[in-house]
Structure 1
Amino acid sequence: MADGSTKPTGMRLLAHRAYEKFPELSSQPTIKVLHFATYANIQSQLRKNALLAGFTGPIGVALMADKKFPAGDVLTSRIDSTLLEKTAGDEEYTRAYFSEEENPKKAPVNLIYIDTEMLGQRVTTRCLVPPVASKPHLFLVEAFDMCIANHLSLYGTNSPQKDTAAK
């Protein structure tokens, strides 16, 4: 997604939330953002609609296609930062994939990768954002905010892998 697709941008929102959460950043104000990338994966929904169009035509799709998507939880996982380096270039499209366990209902999702260094620690996260039950029309900036909150909550922990869920 383009940097300017939201107001505020994801980077600006990340900086704002980091300064809110960590007052000590005022004396050490460096936040190094190595990656902040968003990928939309709506492939399963497109397949369903294409199949429906094959049987009923475009009017059938307009009348019979799902108006609501299956809801799920926002899932944030701490990942190894080398994963982002391995999937750069020609393999970048693989970052938009999800597993059956992560998205069993195959809902359209946004995958948001955040990789930052601050306070002497590097944290890299992968955040899967399906439609959320309490917010049927979730804006991308709201998805950013949830993922950023989950990302920042991992600072100060030394666990190699931690999953957090926002609802």
Structure 2
Amino acid sequence: MRYVFALLASFILAGCATTTTRLPVENLAVSAKAPVEDLRPAAEGTREIFSLMITSDQYGYARLAQEITDPTGARLFSHRLQEKFASTSVPQTKLYHFAVYLNNRSELRKVALGAGFGGLIGAAIMSNNVVREGDVVHTMVNEEAFNALSGDKEYQRAFYTELELKQGTSAFVIYIESEADGQRRFTRTVSPIKPAQPGEKIPLHQAMEAAIQFHLKS
């Protein structure tokens, strides 16, 4: 019972927190001028708890505010991009999406996800090319299908399938879309939330790092 209450508290804090968690990132200043043009939708970096009503289909899902960490996910992306090219010239890059969603539904209410990404929209969003790195799952994203999950349907971006994670697992779902050298990439990462061991990064930091690294090598 204590674990469930802790998860509930983490869900509320993730959506409503005004404090910022400092992430341990070395040499961040060297990427201050990385040529990344931020073209994300204005609302994408703001917090949104889709519903607090336990009877709602949107209950248990949230979009996290970018200010929940310092550096933000977008800033961390710029830094890892700079590191990737090291001493060579970093290409001009456009960042269209860096959105972080929290899926806490099953832990909070102990219910199945239902159709989730298993429906027609899910089939369009996720390619058949699923990449696993330990417990973390990566897929490519269909932009048209992603855009269809907006407005009242945005909470569905936080869904995952039972083939990706065990039912009942709380997870971060991260979308990144960028363009450089004429190539556009749109990726999705599902990272389960587990208690961090001593010396490990917090789960959100781990999830963002995994999402960025996959995106940059995809």
Task: Give the TM-score normalised by structure 2.
Answer: 0.54
Go from structure 1 to structure 2 and tell me whether the alpha carbon gap of 1:97 and 1:19 turns closer, same or farther (over 3 Å shift).
same
User: Please, which of 102, 116, 122 is the counterpart of residue 40 of structure 1?
Assistant: 102
Any idea what SS the aligned residue of 1:26 has?
coil
Q: Answer whether contact 1:19 1:25 (CA < 8 A) is retained.
A: no
**Deviations 1:22-74, CA, capped at 9 Å, x for gaps:** 3587263x2111111111011111114xxxxxxxxxxxxxxxxxxxxxxx611
Partner AA of 2:191 in structure 1: V
Q: Quick check: 1:151 aligned with 2:209? A: no
Aligned-residue offset at 1:139: 3.2
Q: Quick check: 1:100 aligned with 2:146? A: no
Unmatched tracts of structure 2, length 5 or more: 1-63, 111-133
Instruction: Tell which has more relative contact order, 1 or 2 (C-alpha 8 A, sep 6+).
Output: 1
Aligned-residue Cα RMSD (Å) equals 2.5
Aligned-residue offset at 1:147: 0.8
Q: What is the CA–CA distance in structure 2 between the aligned matches of 1:120 and 1:152, rounded to whole Å?
A: 14
Q: Answer whether contact 1:110 1:130 (CA < 8 A) is retained.
A: yes
Q: Answer whether contact 1:74 1:129 (CA < 8 A) is retained.
A: yes
User: Please, which of 58, 72, 76 is the counterpart of residue 9 of structure 1?
Assistant: 72
Any idea what SS the aligned residue of 1:37 has?
strand
Report how many residues are paired: 131
Query: Percent same amino acid at aligned positions?
Result: 38
Higher Rg of the two aligned structures: 1
**Deviations 1:94-141, CA, capped at 9 Å, x for gaps:** 101111111124210010011111122100011000035885873312
Q: Answer whether contact 1:41 1:109 (CA < 8 A) is retained.
A: yes
Go from structure 1 to structure 2 and tell me whether the alpha carbon gap of 1:121 and 1:96 turns closer, same or farther (over 3 Å shift).
same
Go from structure 1 to structure 2 and tell me whether the alpha carbon gap of 1:75 and 1:43 turns closer, same or farther (over 3 Å shift).
same
User: Please, which of 68, 85, 91 is the counterpart of residue 22 of structure 1?
Assistant: 85
Unmatched tracts of structure 1, length 5 or more: 49-71, 155-167
Aligned-residue offset at 1:150: 0.8
Q: Answer whether contact 1:110 1:128 (CA < 8 A) is retained.
A: yes
Any idea what SS the aligned residue of 2:162 has?
coil
Partner AA of 1:86 in structure 2: A
